[in-house]
């Protein structure tokens, strides 16, 4: 079965084709970074308009890269939430129309399920069950994952997500958009410990996070008299160290709590090198192993959506019977259920 995946939840247009027998056939991505850079953040209306312009062309190109025609596609999977409403509507409308015109199923996919399952696309994938650390621009969550759609929330951020903290801190340090990767790059040139920032909720006794205070602590440092901008790299390094320490400590605590030795890290912040090195070492010391998506699939992409959709379709899920443009800008991951085949859903 060949599944066309479409991702348009934020500022990346992603398209991919996943073949359940062969694997990933092709994937294409258009990033809107240049479009939003002048505004210092994503402008939702501009994002939607750009998805409209790019998506049909990107679908054509990705099909060509895979050596396929539109008629060869067996099903469409699209991100239906969470995300920006207007941006989601573009992907959902195109996906549903593509599917309706060809009489094939269209499956709405949860964006975070895409991230969460993306490490399974790697050459050496993890096996269920595992603990997942989802660290993106919008979410910071620890989940126990027993299988597709079997997710239990263990802890999450009570305010800013880890990626959001990176982006906001980068902005207040005057780094460009998107700030996360630039702040991480600057941190590599600095030394942590010269400044001392808090480790929020490190000893809270639960698996929740809080990152908004860190950004304020950084603001206090740079607005104090005597601040020398030449020390920016050291401050960036200390900020990164604080985020990584908390993420690592809570991930280890989650693994201990549910008795699992496999950790899966997904979402944009999972690209952070210092986070990877710290987690790899700490988990290995406890006899466990950390799995990540391929580097190109850490941030938003169509491949993870095609793949999550393909797993559900292959497990017998049929997709909604009535064609409709389905979006859910706010959608808790724990509301998902394992794939439901047509037969099972009749029985229940």
Q: 214 and 165 in contact (C-beta within 8 Å)? A: yes
Closer to ligand KG4 at the Cβ: 69 or 330?
A: 330
In the set 28, 105, 155, 178, which binds ligand KG4 (CB under 6 A)? 178
| CA dist., res. 246 & res. 210, Å (int) | 9
Q: Facing residues of 107 across strands? A: 77
Q: Report if residue 7 touches Zn ion, rule: CB under 5 A.
A: no
Q: Enter the tokens of residue 147.
A: 């299988």
167 binds ligand KG4 (CB under 6 A): yes
Is residue 86 near ligand KG4 by the rule CB under 6 A? no
Show the binding pattern over residues 308-337: x = contacts ligand KG4 (CB under 6 A), - = does not.
Answer: ------------------------------
b/e map of 300-332 (b: 16 or more CB within 10 Å)? bbbbbbbbbbbbbbeeebbbeeeeebbbbeebe
Number of residues that bind ligand KG4 (CB under 6 A): 20
Residue 21 DSSP SS3: coil
Site for Zn ion in 289-308 (CB under 5 A): 300
224 Cβ contact list (under 8 Å, min separation 6): none
Closest CA to 157 of 264, 83, 72, 246: 246
Binding-site member from 136, 141, 262, 272 for Zn ion (CB under 5 A): 136
Name which position in 137, 155, 200, 288 contacts ligand KG4 (CB under 6 A). Answer: 137
Residue closer to ligand KG4, measured from CB, 19 or 300:
300
C-alpha torsion sign, points 231, 235, 236, 238: positive
138 lies in the site for ligand KG4, by CB under 6 A? yes
Best CA proximity match to 288, nearest among 308, 259, 267: 259
Min separation Cβ 179 and ligand KG4, Å: 6
Please give the torsion angle defined by the CA atoms of residues 317, 120, 334 and 17, in that order, rounded to the nearest 10 degrees: -50
In the list 77, 84, 271, 279, the residue contacting ligand KG4 (rule: CB under 6 A) is: 271
Helix, strand, coil % in the chain, rounded to nearest 5:
45, 20, 35
* Residue 283 binding result from Zn ion, ligand KG4, none, given CB thresholds of 5 to 8 Å by partner type: none
Please choose, out of 41-49, 54-62, 173-181, 284-292, the segment that lies near ligand KG4 by the rule CB under 6 A. Answer: 173-181
* Under rule CB under 5 A, residue 11 binds Zn ion: no
CB of 182 to ligand KG4, least distance (A): 8
Window contacting ligand KG4 (CB under 6 A); options: 69-77, 147-155, 218-226, 268-276 = 268-276
Contacts to ligand KG4 by CB under 6 A? 115, 136-138, 163-164, 166-167, 178-181, 184, 267-269, 271-272, 299-300
């Amino acid at each position: 079965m060949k599944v066309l995946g479409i991702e348009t939840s934020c500022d990346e247009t992603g398209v991919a084709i996943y073949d359940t027998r062969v694997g990933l056939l092709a994937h294409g991505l258009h990033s809107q970074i240049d479009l939003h850079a002048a505004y210092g953040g994503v402008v939702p209306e501009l994002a939607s308009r750009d998805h409209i312009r790019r998506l049909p062309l990107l679908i054509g190109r990705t099909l060509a890269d895979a050596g396929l025609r539109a008629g060869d596609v067996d099903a469409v999977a699209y991100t239906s939430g969470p995300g920006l409403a207007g941006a989601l509507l573009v992907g959902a409308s195109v996906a549903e129309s593509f599917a309706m015109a060809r009489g094939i199923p269209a499956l709405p996919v949860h964006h975070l399920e895409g991230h969460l399952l993306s490490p399974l696309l790697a050459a050496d994938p993890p096996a269920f069950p595992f603990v997942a650390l989802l660290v993106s621009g919008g979410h910071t969550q620890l989940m126990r994952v027993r299988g597709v759609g079997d997710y239990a929330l263990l802890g999450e951020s009570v305010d800013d997500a880890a990626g959001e903290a990176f982006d906001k801190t980068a902005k207040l340090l005057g780094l460009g958009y998107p700030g996360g990767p630039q702040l991480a790059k600057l941190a590599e040139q600095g030394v942590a410990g010269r400044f001392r920032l808090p480790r929020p909720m490190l000893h809270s006794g639960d698996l929740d996070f809080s990152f908004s205070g860190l950004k304020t602590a950084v603001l206090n440092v740079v607005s104090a008299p005597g601040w020398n901008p030449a020390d920016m790299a050291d401050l960036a390094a200390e900020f990164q160290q604080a985020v990584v320490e908390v993420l690592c400590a809570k991930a280890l605590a989650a693994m201990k709590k549910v008795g699992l030795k496999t950790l899966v890290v997904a979402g944009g912040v999972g690209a952070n090198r210092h986070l990877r090195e710290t987690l790899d070492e700490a988990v290995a010391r406890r006899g466990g192993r950390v799995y990540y998506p391929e580097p190109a699939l850490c941030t938003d992409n169509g491949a993870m959506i095609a793949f999550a959709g393909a797993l559900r379709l292959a497990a017998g899920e049929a997709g909604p019977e009535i064609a409709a443009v389905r979006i859910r800008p706010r959608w808790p991951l724990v509301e998902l259920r394992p794939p439901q085949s047509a037969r099972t859903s009749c029985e229940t």
